[in-house]
Amino acid sequence: MREFFISALLDVGVSLTLQSAKGDYICITTLPPRWSLPQDGELTDTLIFGEEVGQRLMTLKESLRAPGDKAEIEVLVPDDCAFDFRCSMIQMTDGATYLMTTVIDRTEERRRERLLRALLREVSHRSKNLLAIIQSIAFQTARYSGTLEGFLNKFRGRLHSLSQSQDLITDSSWRGAYFKDLLTQQVEKYVPENRGLVHFSGENVLLSPNASLHIGLALHELAVNAVSHGSFLRQHSAIEVSCRRSVAAEGEMITVTWNEPFSAKPEPETEAAKPKFGSTVLERVVPASVNGRASLEFHGGRLVYELVFPVEAAD
């Protein structure tokens, strides 16, 4: 039976010591490995736990005088370990009074608490960033929408794009999202029966959470524009999308290219007179968010969007 209780104490990281009312050690079970019993001499708190911890324990125990008195201290030791020492005066059936000390290993619990606090700070930070993005999208969408209905339709689509990207980020434990997954999400929503017309090539780069949100929004704008104004469905001609690494003068870069058939090129003067939210996102907002540069051009009957940004922005 004694061995059973000792095994149970070991499993939960708890140690017990029992002393007489005068402080003489009677029993010590499952002492934490960082402390060991001396081979010779009378057992004392300082001999077992060291000078600093021992003095604190002695002071604590001296304050306990009658059965039922309790007190505890937390001990932080090197290697980022933490222990709770809980002392109490107890009276046995024979009427004698004893001092019982429970030593509880709180190291893992403290580490989990620190990790949780760090995660909560990270969630708070990312939530604020996401709200800022949503606020910007709402403002810019309203700016370029002629009617309330038009605003709501466009704003809902852009919010849905953000929520899809956020799902990918969350599923990866906040590491980010893979480029191909972002592309697949946007294509399947707007061309579910023709997703085979969008061809991907290159490297499936893991993007940072910030890059995932903004590049996902860019892919949303490109997909919506392709369905609304492009000619790839009518011509049954594929859109070519690539993501590649390259080395430039400024270092290692990632280049994202969207190349689609677009036979109806808007007039330059019309574009200048009536700017659209989509081009603002593609040419200004997204490249700025990843410290990169972008171009949106029409040539050879095709619309080509190219985004170039440093690898660091993706990590």
User: What string of H, E and C letters represents the secondary structure of the chain?
Assistant: CHHHHHHHHHHHCEEEEEEECCCCEEEEECCCCCCCCCCCCCCCHHHHHCHHHHHHHHHHHHCCCCCCCEEEEEEEECCCEEEEEEEEEEECCCCCEEEEEEEEECHHHHHHHHHHHHHHHHHHHHHHHHHHHHHHHHHHHHHCCCCHHHHHHHHHHHHHHHHHHHHHHHHCCCCCEEHHHHHHHHHHHHCCCCHHHEEEEECCCEECHHHHHHHHHHHHHHHHHHHHHCCHHHHCCCEEEEEEEEEECCEEEEEEEEEEECCCCCCHHHHHHCCCHHHHHHHHHHHHHCCCEEEEEEECCEEEEEEEEEHHHHC
- Residue 278: exposed, middle, or buried by beta-carbon count in 10 A (0-12, 13-18, 19+)? buried
Contacts of residue 120, defined as CB under 8 A and 6 or more positions apart, other chains included, come to none
pLDDT tens figures, 49-106: 989 999 999 999 999 889 999 999 999 888 788 999 999 998 888 788 999 999 998 8
Say how far apart CA 118 and CA 245 lie, in whole Å. 32
pLDDT tens figures, 118-136: 878 877 887 888 888 888 8
Low-confidence ranges of the chain (pLDDT < 50): 1-8, 269-275
Q: What is the pLDDT of residue 207?
A: 94
Residue 122 exposure: Cα atoms within 13 Å on the Cβ side: 12
Contact 277, 144 (CB under 8 A): yes
Report CA-CA distances (Å) from 268 to 274, 275, 276, 287.
Answer: 10, 11, 13, 22
Q: Between helices 107-143 and 209-229, what is the axis angle to 10°? A: 30
Q: What is the pLDDT of residue 191?
A: 79
Q: What is the pLDDT of residue 273?
A: 32
Q: What is the pLDDT of residue 5?
A: 47
Q: What is the pLDDT of residue 3?
A: 47
